[in-house]
Amino acid sequence: MKIAIVCYPTFGGSGVVATELGIALANRGHEVHFVTYKQPVRLELLNNNIFFHEVHVPEYALFHYQPYELALSSKLVDTVRLYGIDLLHVHYAIPHAYAGYMAKKMLQEEGIFIPMITTLHGTDITLVGKHPFYKPAVTFSINKSDIVTSVSQNLKDATLELFDIENPIEVIPNFIDVSNRENNFTDCQRSMMAKEDERIITHISNFRKVKRIPDVIKIFNKIQQEIPAKLLMVGEGPEKEKAELLCEELGIADKVVFLGNSNQVDKILCFSDLFLLPSETESFGLAALEAMINKTPVVSSNAGGIPEVNIQGVTGYLSEVGNISEMAENSLKILRDSEILAQFKENAVGNAYKFDIKRILPLYEAAYERALQAR
Ligand code: GMT
- By the 10 Å C-beta count (0-12 exposed, 13-18 middle, 19+ buried), 27 is classed as middle
Check residue 88 and give its pLDDT: 98
Check residue 299 and give its pLDDT: 98
Instruction: Kindly report the pTM of this predicted structure.
Output: 0.94
From the CA of 279, give the closest atom in ligand 1.
Answer: 23
Cβ–ligand 1 contact at 283 (below 6 Å): yes
| Residue identifier of the C-alpha nearest atom 9 of ligand 1 | 13
CA atoms within 13 A on the CB side of 325: 0
Cβ–ligand 1 contact at 285 (below 6 Å): yes
Cβ–ligand 1 contact at 149 (below 6 Å): no
Q: In what order do the strands lie in the sheet with 116-120?
A: 50-54, 31-36, 2-6, 87-91, 116-120, 147-150, 169-171
Cβ–ligand 1 contact at 286 (below 6 Å): yes
Angle between helical axes of 338-352 and 286-293 (0-180°, round to 10): 120
User: From ligand 1's centre to the CA of 120, what distance in Å?
Assistant: 10
* 90, 208, 286, 300, best to mutate for ligand 1 pocket (most atoms within 8 Å of CB): 286
Check residue 353 and give its pLDDT: 96
pLDDT mean by block of 10 residues, the chain; 375 residues:
96 91 96 96 83 95 95 98 98 97 98 97 89 94 97 97 95 93 77 92 97 98 98 97 98 97 91 97 97 97 98 98 98 98 98 97 98 88
CATH class of the domain at 2-175+356-373: alpha beta
Annotated domain spans of the chain: 2-175+356-373, 182-355
Check residue 43 and give its pLDDT: 83
Task: Give the CATH fold of the 182-355 domain.
Answer: Rossmann fold (3.40.50)
Model ipTM? 0.96
Cβ–ligand 1 contact at 119 (below 6 Å): no
